[in-house]
Structures are given as structure tokens and as C-alpha cells.
Amino acid sequence: MIKPRKAAGRPTFIPTEDHKTLLVITVLVEILCMETDAITKFLQKIRFFKVFNDKELFKLVGRQKVFKNCNKGEYIFKEGDDGSSLFVILFGTLQLVKSRENHIESIILELKTGTVFGEVAMLTKNKRNLDARASSDKVVVMEFKLEFVEKMLPSIQTKFHKQLLYILATNLDTMNMRYAKLEASVKMKEQLVA
């Protein structure tokens, strides 16, 4: 409680421990809101989040802030890990890597800021089939767990799922184009050899 005290003819207040605690909490809440606003503004620049309005983004960010920071060579997840979440790269680049028996690695794909990944394992509830490893000096990702997605408001959940469908369709289209190029390349090599 605040205790009144007279100074120069008018009452002043001396903060007590309760008041100081309240002040600290108020400042922390303001910082959290500023941080949430900054994250929300940043997310609006990422294609996946453009369909969400400010209020929806605030709900996505404000309730569940799970960030992972990794330095170059560290892993977001490894093959065989639980696949119950998807990730959005907020900063940096990472590689999706497949390890083989002789400790030989194949870099399947390099992902950059703004990329959503891990959605297939989350949707199928399968274990991870690749490693996700930081390839830039610093990588920051935001994690969305399946249980959190399932508790979203229906309107937000619908937008979230539509965005996932868009990502899956885009990725499938990209893989089909790569396959067609690879097949054409193999046929061309076969014709040259024959």
C-alpha cells in the first residue's frame, strides 16, 4: 500500500514493497506487450501470417511464445524426434539433412527466413525423418505445437490450416518440377550414352 506523507504542505507518497512489486509487474507487462507488438509486426511480413489480422496474430504470439535459438551447427530437431510441432524461421538459414549409415550426410534443402517447416510430421503425427540444423551463425525459430493449434479459436484454426494446405501444395508443386527436371536430365544422359 502507498503511505501518504506531508511534504511542503501537500501529501506525497512513499512507495512500499507492494507498490514496487506492482510497478515491476506493470513494467514487465508493458515490455511483454511491446515485444509482442514487434513480433506481430515482423510476422505480418511472412507470407504464412499475412492472412491473420492484428488481433489474431496477437493471440498466436501472445499466448504461446516458444522460440528456439541455435548457433551454426546446432539442431532444431533430429531425425527420430517427436514431430508434434511446426516451425517458422524468424532469422537465419538452416539445412534439412538426411544422415546415412556411414555418417554420410545429404543436404536435402536449405531454408531461409520466413520458411515454415516441420508441418508434415506435425500433421501426420510421425517422428521427424530429417535433421534440421542451423547453417547460418544464428538461427531463431518460432515453434507451434499441435496441441496449441488444436486449441485455437475456430476462425484462427481455419486460417492456420488453409495456410498449411497452401504450403503443402506449393511444396508438392516444387517437388514435381524438380522431379520433371531430373527425369529430363536422366533421359538426356541416356540418349548421349546410347
Going residue by residue through the chain, which has 194 residues, state the pLDDT in tens, using 9 for 90 and above: 444 455 555 555 455 555 555 555 554 445 445 566 777 777 788 888 889 988 888 777 765 557 888 899 999 999 999 999 999 998 899 999 998 888 888 899 999 988 999 999 998 989 999 999 999 999 988 888 888 888 888 998 899 889 888 888 888 888 889 888 888 888 888 888 87
Q: Is residue 156 part of a domain?
A: yes
Q: Is the domain of 81 the same as that of 10?
A: no
Q: Is the domain of 112 the same as that of 166?
A: yes
Q: What separation in angstroms does the CA of 118 have from each of 59, 103, 173?
A: 21, 23, 17
Q: Is residue 192 part of a domain?
A: no
Based on the structure, what is the number of domains in the chain? 2
Domain residues for the domain of 180 are 44-187
**pTM above 0.75?**
no
Q: Is residue 194 part of a domain?
A: no
Q: Is the domain of 12 the same as that of 66?
A: no
Question: Nearest-CA neighbor of 164 among 124, 107, 108?
Answer: 124
